Amino acid sequence: MAQTPPHPSSPSSPRSPRIPDIAQLSGVSTATVDRVLNQRSGVRNATAQRVLQAAATLGYLPQAELHAALQPQPLRLMVLIPEGSNRFLQMLGDVIGYAQDHWAPFNVRCQAAYIESFNPDALAKALLHYGKRCDGIAFMALEHPVVREAVAQLAEQGVPTVTLISDLSNSRRVAYVGLDNRAAGRTAAYLIARFMGPLAHSRNAHVAMIVGSLRYRAHEEREAGFLHLFEEQFPLVQVVGVREGQDDAERNYRQARALLEQHDDLAGIYNIGGGAEGIGRALKEAGADRKIVFIGHGLTPDTRALLIDGTMDAVITQNPQGAVMNCVRIFANLRDGREPTSGVETTRSQVIFRENLP
């Protein structure tokens, strides 16, 4: 005799799992479960994983849907890079292009976008533009109110920003990744003075600085550190006025030629930004490449060649891949509810000479 199936209300009738059941098993509120199942923001990744596992255990989600849900969308990150002839910044963009596998474990996708250099309005516009299309932005900041305001607007919209290489004062960026630029400037001054030898204690010597732009806080801080060390330890050396070269090799060439013509006793040049090859060319043409101490920033194919042939004496640099990795870690920490700089290494400068080239 055929058995009558149990009535849906009878104790033996299986009941489909509900949101309160998932909440109880995962130890969270029903509101949190609702946010996770509907893929809304505001839940830490570890909590979301626990909710999804509970839903799978109870049979709330089919296996195909569970697998898709357990694979969160990659974090979309954008790095804004000033366009131009600065070889170190070009290398930074190349790193972002070819090193995707390095940050795959963080479940992020990192892209580079090139923007007009030294233009705060263009930078602010790019920040707001890409802020609508990504989950976080790293950028080389220009000190300007419009840039600061763009960062504040993105913060209000929940889009975090990280300053890279050059910081932005009094802003709502979440972190800075880069050198202690004041210390870098002091290091450059110390190296030049030591290479100068007895001249560093003579009134008959000048040293000069060429910057990319003082709109970069990094360049301003390097200049300040450079000046302070000479004032403190080598006060007889005269530091001539800073010149801006916009990180352009041709402009730097013209600036260096002018310095050589104006100062017969020029003993050292500190290139605070890029475009070192232009300065090197000017020194070689004047036959001063073995007489004038030349210190700069960023180990690139150009500065490497200048170190090898003896035109440059030292290069202060940082690892571009490490800088991007630190940015990725910061954004991943923010996504997962950790402190932004948890596990992020302090950016360390390296001083490279011809004899210790990597």
**b/e 73-88 (16+ beta carbons within 10 angstroms → b):** eebbbbbbbbebbbbb
Asked whether residue 30 carries a pLDDT value surpassing 60, the answer given is: yes
Strand-pair category, 314-317 with 350-352: antiparallel
CB atoms under 10 Å from CB of 296, counted, come to: 30
Which pLDDT belongs to residue 224?
A: 97
Out of 42-56, 104-118, 314-328, which region has the weakest mean confidence (pLDDT)? 42-56
Report pTM.
0.81
Asked whether residue 261 carries a pLDDT value surpassing 70, the answer given is: yes
- pLDDT tens digits, one per residue of 62-111: 665 665 565 667 899 999 999 987 899 999 999 998 887 888 888 899 99
Better pLDDT: 15 or 150: 150
Which pLDDT belongs to residue 3?
A: 46
* Alpha-carbon span 140 to 163, nearest angstrom: 6
Asked whether residue 40 carries a pLDDT value surpassing 80, the answer given is: no
Query: pLDDT band at 14, cuts 50/70/90?
Result: low
Question: Which residue is it, tokens 């060649």?
Answer: 305
Asked if residues 268 and 207 have their Cβ atoms less than 8 Å apart, the reply is yes
* Alpha-carbon span 329 to 106, nearest angstrom: 8
List of residues 6+ apart from 15 with CB closer than 8 A? none
- pLDDT tens digits, one per residue of 165-183: 999 999 999 999 999 999 9
CA nearest neighbour of 189 among 225, 165, 218, 217? 225
- pLDDT tens digits, one per residue of 179-197: 999 999 999 999 999 999 9
Average pLDDT over residues 203-207: 91
List of residues 6+ apart from 146 with CB closer than 8 A? 120, 121, 124
Query: pLDDT band at 21, cuts 50/70/90?
Result: confident
Better pLDDT: 254 or 2: 254
* SS3 call for 175: strand
Question: Which residue is it, tokens 């999804």?
Answer: 52
What's the whole-number average pLDDT of the chain? Answer: 90
Average pLDDT over residues 38-49: 76
Report DSSP letters for 122-153, one per residue. HHHHHHHHHHTT-SEEEE-----HHHHHHHHH
